[in-house]
Structure formats: structure tokens, C-alpha cells
Structure 1
Amino acid sequence: MKKSLGRHLIAEFYDCDQKALDDVVLVEQKMKDAAIVAGATIVGSSFHRFLPYGVSGVVVISESHLTIHTWPEYGYAAIDLFTCGEDTNPWRAFDYLKEAFNAKRTQVFEHTRGDYRAIGIPISAPHKAMKGGLYSV
């Protein structure tokens, strides 16, 4: 198995609850809940509701970030879930958000970030979460 510093899910959510996707308070809460479900530590968040509709936001976590941009008029959301460390799992956040926004269809790609070999980290090195902006390996 290829070792890396992080896992990045790029997700497409289709046929979602349009009302939910246009509620900035709800979207922010669901994104924060997803971070917690993934085992992440929330540092902060910033969300904005656009006129006439749509929400964009980010939840910054010690282990990286979760972002969303919604198009309620199409029932669509673009979501990125980037987590680092062995104690976080972006797939848990993905599953939670799929249910939270009632997505009927999804498409998701997983990318590894910070491949150990490309960086020059020994494969046997322990993999630890980001703390204070620095990785400890």
C-alpha cells in the first residue's frame, strides 16, 4: 500500500435536497459535523451565502480542510475532503454528508497527497497528523 501524508476526496453530489443546499447555517453545521465524524479537530470555519442562491464554505481542521460549494438550483454540491494522519478518515465525512444532503447520486475520486517516496520519507516512518502547521514523522 502506498503511504502518503494525506487523502483527498474530490466529490460530486447530485440530486440533493435543494433547500438544504441553500441554507448557510445548515450547510456549515453539517460540514462541521462531518469533520467530527471523520475524527478531525476543527480549527475554524468560514461560510457565505450567495444571492440569489448558493453556499460556499470551508472548515479548517488541524489535519487539513473540508470545503463545499453548492448550486441549489441544480441540486448539486462540489465537496473536497482533505485529511492527513492515520486518525482521520475522509470517507466517514463523505458518507455522513451524502446522507445529510440526501444525495441520490455521487461521484468521488480519492487522491493521495504527499507520497512518502516522492518526498523522500522512509516508508517505515510513522505517519502522524499535522500539529501546529508542521508534520512530525
Structure 2
Amino acid sequence: MTALGRHLLVEYTGCDATILADLARITTAMLEAARASGATIVTHSFHHFSPHGISGAVIIAESHLAIHTWPEHCFAAVDFFSCGPVDMDRGLAVLRAAIGATDETRMALERGPLRAVNLG
């Protein structure tokens, strides 16, 4: 069976804590990232936790783009899964700039069947 989708797990460090705690800015950044990738946005939902942190997802026709932030650690974890022709790298570059990340680590997976593509 050939892969049914591509799944990127991304960890951003050195992020702007103020942005990571701002529900409106994270929502906007995630929607802009999805648009920049060429994905078709279906819906989105984001939640601000007390005292801090945001979790949310943009549901796209091709699958999803999700985030969880830890402002107190200047850290964000992102999950981008697509079974369609989207430019994940472009979308993630937009997101990285929007949250002010100084570094990122990625793990790429092929889904269906699961296979690690690269780490780094």
C-alpha cells in the first residue's frame, strides 16, 4: 500500500510568550498558515486555558492543523496532517514567523501504513 497521507509533528522553541497566550493571534496565525499551505479550510476551534496555554485545530478538507502552546516555556507543539496536495513547509513557515519561534524540530511520518520519513 502506498502512503495515504503525510503527517508532520513540529516543536517550536524560543517563541514569543505573549503571542502564545493570545487566543486571537494564535487563531489568526493558524488560519493564515492553513491558507498559505493551500489547504481548504472547513472549520476551526481554539480554546484558551487558565492560567495559560491554547489548544486548537483548523479542520481542512485534506485533514487538520493543530497546536498546543506553553507560553511559560516559550514552546508550541504543532501537528499538520494532510492526505492532499498542500504545501506544509510554506504553511509552517508562516506559522513559525507569526509566533516568533527561534528554532524548530520536525518529525515526518507517512500514514497508512505508518512509517517514519525523517527526524530533525
TM-score scaled by length of structure 2: 0.89
Instruction: State the partner residue of 2:107.
Output: 109
Deviation at 1:92, TM superposition (A): 1.4
Give the Cα separation in 2 of the matches to 1:3 and 1:92.
Answer: 24
Instruction: State the partner residue of 2:47.
Output: 48
Give the Cα separation in 1 of the matches to 2:100 and 2:17.
Answer: 9
**C-alpha contact (below 8 Å) 1:8/1:90 kept by paired residues:** no
Greater Cα radius of gyration, structure 1 or 2: 1
Instruction: State the partner residue of 1:13.
Output: 12
Aligned residue-pair number: 113
Deviation at 1:82, TM superposition (A): 0.7
TM-score scaled by length of structure 1: 0.78
**C-alpha contact (below 8 Å) 1:7/1:90 kept by paired residues:** no
Calculate percent identity across the aligned residue pairs. 44
Instruction: State the partner residue of 2:35.
Output: 36
Given the alignment, which residue of 88, 91, 96 partners 1:90?
A: 88
Give the Cα separation in 2 of the matches to 1:46 and 1:103.
Answer: 22
CA RMSD of aligned residues (A): 1.3
Deviation at 1:13, TM superposition (A): 0.4
Greater than 3 Å deviation, 4+ residue runs: none
Give the Cα separation in 2 of the matches to 1:84 and 1:35.
Answer: 14
